[in-house]
């Protein structure tokens, strides 16, 4: 029988340090899903093993007395009840440990809040139709989503802080925590989401470092890091670098996977709030394999 190699205390310490560094910088990938024809299903998205968060996009109509309305492109028709079958996929994602959120707002839609009371009504609608409450008309069926994403890009900047507080309070009183995420633009502070994020109630902030030439990585390392450090100052849990998953996914801001891995991520992985990378969107990732190319570096 061959002699077993002895492991010295120094080797043990070195191994422990390597493991610690790996876990300190370990991030996840978040991806938006739902806005494109020909996109992988929700269940297939989560089965890939590439994503920690999947954000269903969008609820682009709500508030100001409007009847809320979802838009999931050709995946299903919410108006006819055709999206209730998504519950099966949502639960499949959650069984895999993937958190599933609903994104409200978007770059195109009819939404906004007119008062704290309006915010409360929207919060109740979201709680009863997508979260831990109950309703006879849940658009995505009886699956309970993990949280709500604020992608506010129009409709006024007021009362989003009220909506965030109301959602968190409903989760507390209902015995089911509600994750809150936001997708601000990289110029700091964000014109729309800034007030809500400053409440300190947001668990996740994925900053859009694209379609904003003054602060995305192509503006230069200095401008990019200046913006990142400003976002590090917000009272939020985890901070994500938001990027397009292909050149076609945004007007500007695409960073090739190799460049992201070698030049960008090393600059921000050491941040105490670093959470990973957010991608727009699953459809574009399907075509480029971007998440697979960056996963081991995130």
Q: Using omega within 30 degrees of 0 as the cis cutoff, is the peptide bond preceding 25 cis?
A: no
Catalytic, 153? Answer yes
Residue 69 pairs with which residues in a beta bridge? 61
- Give the Cα separation of 54 and 75 in Å (integer): 15
Tokens standing for residue 145: 């989503």
CB 236, CB 216: distance < 8 Å = no
* Active-site residue (options: 153, 191, 214, 259): 153
Which residues carry out catalysis? 153
């Amino acid at each position: 029988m061959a002699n077993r190699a002895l492991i010295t205390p120094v080797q043990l310490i070195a191994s422990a340090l390597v493991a610690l560094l790996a876990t300190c910088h370990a991030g996840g990938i978040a991806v938006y899903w739902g806005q494109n024809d020909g996109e992988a299903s929700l269940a297939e998205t989560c089965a890939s093993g590439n994503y920690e968060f999947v954000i269903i996009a969008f609820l682009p109509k709500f508030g100001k007395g409007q009847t809320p309305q979802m838009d999931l492109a050709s995946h299903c028709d919410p108006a006819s009840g055709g999206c209730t079958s998504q519950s099966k996929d949502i639960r499949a994602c959650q069984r895999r440990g993937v958190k599933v959120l609903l994104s409200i707002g978007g770059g195109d839609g009819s939404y906004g809040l007119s008062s704290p009371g309006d915010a409360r009504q929207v919060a109740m609608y979201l709680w009863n139709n997508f979260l831990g409450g109950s309703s006879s008309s849940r658009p995505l069926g009886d699956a309970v989503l993990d949280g709500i994403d604020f992608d506010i890009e129009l409709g006024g900047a007021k009362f989003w802080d009220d909506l965030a507080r109301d959602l968190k309070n409903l989760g507390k009183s209902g015995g089911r925590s509600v994750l809150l995420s936001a997708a601000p633009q990289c110029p700091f502070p964000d014109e729309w989401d800034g007030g809500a994020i400053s409440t300190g109630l947001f668990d996740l902030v994925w900053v859009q470092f694209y379609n904003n030439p003054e602060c995305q990585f192509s503006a230069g390392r200095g401008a990019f890091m200046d913006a990142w450090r400003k976002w590090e100052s917000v009272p939020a849990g985890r901070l994500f670098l938001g990027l397009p998953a292909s050149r076609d996914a945004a007007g500007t801001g695409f960073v090739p996977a190799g460049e992201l891995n070698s030049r960008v991520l090393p600059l921000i992985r050491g941040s105490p709030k670093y959470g990973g990378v957010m991608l727009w969107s699953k459809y574009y990732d399907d075509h480029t394999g971007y998440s697979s190319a960056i996963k081991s570096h995130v």
